[in-house]
Structure 1
Amino acid sequence: MRSESPAFPACLSAAAPSHLADGLLDGLTEHGWSQQNIFLSAQLTLELAAECRALAANGVLNPAKVGRGTAQALRTEIRGDRILWLKAGQSPACDQYLQLMENLRIALNRALYLGLDEYESHFAFYPPGASYQTHLDRFRDDDCRTVSVVIYLNHNWLPEQGGALRLHPQGESTQDIAPLGSRLVLFLSADMLHEVLPATRDRLSLAGWFRRRPA
């Protein structure tokens, strides 16, 4: 069974915003991961997807590296996505998305007492055949990342196109989550091994992390 995180109390103390599905935060505490199939509006999903595609077409996205600091290295056999970190004012669509994440940060703190202080996020563009091998999102020398977030931007995704997020919950069967547009996935950064399986078409998402302040 999954080891319990001491950060979570036995019960929730506050209601989440109305756009969050019932049980979303409970699933995070009980299983270490949770999902909501329609988190973004269809319009916002399309706008963010168009922005990601435009950035890719214009060569603005950068090959993602593995490691941290001076140890960062480009290892395409491990990770094949291209990314761009978001910043406030980048576009109206990104600002709307970041406001939703701020609302979610507040909801997580109110319900689960996580002490989340900030959110960081980037576009992630996987061309056909690209993948990301099994890994954890928390660095060994930095425990600030607490809750990982993935939001998918793919219109009319079909199961046979692949590209699933494969979760490896401790002591449980693997869980494959298809990258359907507007879908939100949350999981515990320190505990949840996960990987991205290759797809037969471009795979677009927003990856992010709610972070605590350094100790």
Structure 2
Amino acid sequence: MKRDQQSECGVCGSSSERLLLHNVRHRGTYRRLCSNCVLKTHQGLFCPICLQVYDPSPPPPNARRICAKCPSIIHSSCSSSSSSSAIAAAAAAAAATSSSSFICPPCSNPNFTFYNVNNKKPKVNGDTTAPARVSNNDVNEILVDVGSAKALVAAAKIAALSMSKAAAVARVEAERRVKEAALAKKRAREALERLLNLAAEEKKGKLARVDGNNGGPKNSNGFTLGN
């Protein structure tokens, strides 16, 4: 049985039963995307290493690096970080390929993903990297690690920004259409008034021609009245 389109990611086709989907406006259309696809289709809006969303603006030029293959913007401090995380490790490996350019983790590894889920039980004993439980419609529970949780938060923020901008665009478009409708109504009314005036003038002209053909206006006895 074919699955409902709304229950799948609009890019990778992942099911909402396993991944949380976000509502976004992407390339002029409204879509539902998983966290990983939200991040991969909105490069430049967040740091792909620390996953900080740039709101309202990215860091200044002297505090950032730009991926050589995509619009991703990375904090300079993140690109040189010695963190042992998977994202930072991928970034370090990418940076090592060139001293003058930087390649973000998704571009350096085609199989890279920001968001991973698993079915393992979360660790206890104060392990901050342990997977966290995420409830999806109170039906299934999925487990995500801290890095994936950060990716989920970043994707949610980007989706919120996207929908806010979409709402603003829709409001401007609605106001424009209201103004256009009012202008069209005004022009239609003016055109109708001109048509009525022309009809009245034409009727008046016909009456004048009829009177002229009959020798001018007549009295009650049928005699033409003189000037």
- Structure that is richer in strand per residue: 1
- Structure that is richer in helix per residue: 2
TM-score (norm 2): 0.22
Pick the structure with greater CA Rg. Answer: 2
Which of the pair has the greater relative contact order for Cα pairs under 8 Å at 6+ separation? Answer: 1
